[in-house]
């Protein structure tokens, strides 16, 4: 008699053991196991649970739950605190979470110096460095895209310096989930974010220190002798590229020094991917229109 129930896995993708048990396991073929994903109710439930946990407990959950987990960082205080917490987790068979650093070629020299100190203090952690495609220096970047691209076309700058390298890193490293350094107290679009999010492409983003304030992070850094950016001692709090970062004044939000005088609050990698897909289509249409006008005039 034929079964009235549809199988959860195609039989040809299952091992003999899978067929006998009716379940897929770690020993099953790749085809029989779905990629990591969360339904909306599951995501809501997880955020409700994780919201009440301290950062080390959130990180412990991440390591035991999320495969192909990496940490994206520009070596700000929150990212450094996360890195140090990970190094101190007491779990069986500890897993090293590698770092993804987007070298825009326009970082402060103090930031690049910090990378070396981090490597020395945490030798087990690999730092995967991704630069804008096809260039290795700021001079080469200017030759390819023109002087001060961040002023002439800031969306294109975000794409070539940050978004495309990030997407390339996720693809080449086969990243399923990333830890970020975002916190609610940073304000802007981050003010009401969840601990765990999923972007349009299905990438899982976890914000383990979402509930912490800048002071809590700073106190942790000092108490645990974590290396940090020297610019923090000169009035900077949120540090990105040299051309879009300034010290802040007393009473200002910690990210007030980023893109001073602009409406911008995010660097690009945390904006919706569809925004850049639309932008790239518009750029291509503009180039085609310019080429057509040139052909008509010649």
- Known catalytic residues are 267
Q: Residue for token digits 């974010």?
A: 193
Residue 122: CB partners within 8 Å, gap ≥ 6?
83, 84, 87
Give the integer Cα–Cα distance in Å for 245 and 238.
8
CA distances from 43 to 204, 205, 210 (A): 10, 12, 16
The whole-angstrom separation of Cα 13 and Cα 101 is 37
What residue has token string 């503009």? 286
Angle at 240 between CA 184 and CA 196, to 5 degrees: 30
Per the structure block, which two tokens stand in for 183? 């916190």
- Residue by residue, DSSP assigns 16-58 as HHHHHHT---TTS-GGGSPPP---HHHHHHHHHHHTTS-HHHH
Asked whether the beta carbons of 236 and 248 are under 8 A apart, the reply is yes
């Amino acid at each position: 008699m034929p079964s009235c129930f549809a199988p959860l896995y195609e039989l040809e993708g299952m091992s003999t053991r899978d067929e006998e048990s009716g379940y897929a396991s770690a020993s099953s073929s790749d085809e029989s196991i779905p990629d990591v994903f969360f339904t909306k109710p599951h995501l809501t439930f997880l955020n409700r649970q994780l919201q009440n946990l301290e950062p080390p407990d959130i990180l412990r959950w991440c390591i035991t739950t999320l495969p192909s987990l990496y940490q994206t960082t520009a070596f700000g205080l929150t990212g450094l605190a996360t890195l140090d917490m990970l190094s101190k987790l007491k779990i069986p068979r500890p897993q090293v979470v590698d770092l993804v650093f987007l070298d825009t070629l326009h970082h402060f020299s103090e930031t690049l110096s910090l990378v070396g100190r981090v490597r020395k203090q945490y030798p087990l952690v690999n730092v995967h460095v991704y630069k804008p495609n096809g260039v290795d220096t700021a001079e080469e970047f200017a030759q390819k895209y023109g002087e001060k691209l961040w002023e002439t076309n800031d969306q294109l700058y975000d794409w070539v310096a940050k978004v495309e390298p990030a997407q390339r890193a996720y693809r080449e490293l086969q990243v399923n989930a990333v830890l970020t350094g975002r916190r609610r107290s940073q304000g802007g679009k981050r003010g009401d974010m969840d601990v765990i999010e999923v972007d349009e492409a299905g990438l899982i983003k976890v914000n383990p220190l979402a509930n912490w304030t800048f002071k809590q992070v700073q106190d942790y850094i000092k108490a645990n002798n974590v290396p940090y950016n020297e610019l923090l001692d000169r009035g900077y709090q949120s540090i990105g590229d040299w051309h879009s970062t300034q010290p802040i004044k007393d009473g200002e939000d910690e990210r007030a020094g980023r893109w001073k005088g602009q409406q911008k609050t995010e660097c690009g990698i945390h904006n919706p991917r569809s925004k850049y897909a639309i932008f790239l289509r518009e750029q291509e249409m503009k180039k085609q229109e310019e080429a057509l006008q040139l052909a008509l005039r010649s």
